[in-house]
Structure 1
Amino acid sequence: MRKWHRWLSVFFGVFLFWIAATGLLSQAADLWPSAEPTTAEQLAPAPPAAFVCPKGWRCRPPEATTGFASLKGFFHHLHSGEEFGLPGVIISILSGLALAFFSLSGLWMYIRMWSNRRSKKLNGGMFWK
């Protein structure tokens, strides 16, 4: 198991870092304050003349984003691999599966090491030096 863990981590480590970085940028773009506070009414074009808002609805144009926050969609496409077409999406899916494998195999290796130390009656408890 360690051999697979080690060799897969060499390949997928780069992609997992990419996914982590673009995910962080996507979330940061959401939280980033816009440079100039504007309302949607100021930035949105006027609705078509034939448009009538249905009774009981509040019809508003979507909020326009400016600055760093406008890059959220781009970061999401990088994060999901969509920006690179089908190969990017496949690598993104495989990276997600690799992350699940690393989590489970790492836990499995830790439990095996812990049980080996416990059977040999070595000190250290759950976290040894």
Structure 2
Amino acid sequence: MESGPMSVDSAALDPPPEPENGANEPKHGGHSRFELELEFVQSLANPQYLNYLASRKFLANPSFVAYLDYLQYWTRPPYLKYLTFPTATLKMLELLQQEKFRQDIISPDLAQALIMEGMKTAVEWHREG
């Protein structure tokens, strides 16, 4: 089994301290748990990455699904403010809570449709702004 989020029972952990509160937090490869989880949760906004995770059976692994549930803390303050693309990140995190979506995202066509939908939304947002 690969190392990473699945190798830890993250559902039993508390969210990591915010950067300004975690100065003494242990480092993993030079990065804090906060930084690693922030980078990972933001990567979930990429439909191609979700397709990759599905094709490698991560999204069918109960431990990984529990980790995705644990990551729900990013939907609330104070963690929410650290997301670079909160709309896309939170929407995908929400969809990943659904077993059907975790199964369906293995389709490259669905991943591409989500990419196109995201681009369309961005264009519309810029036109309104």
How high is the TM-score relative to the length of structure 1? 0.28
How high is the TM-score relative to the length of structure 2? 0.28
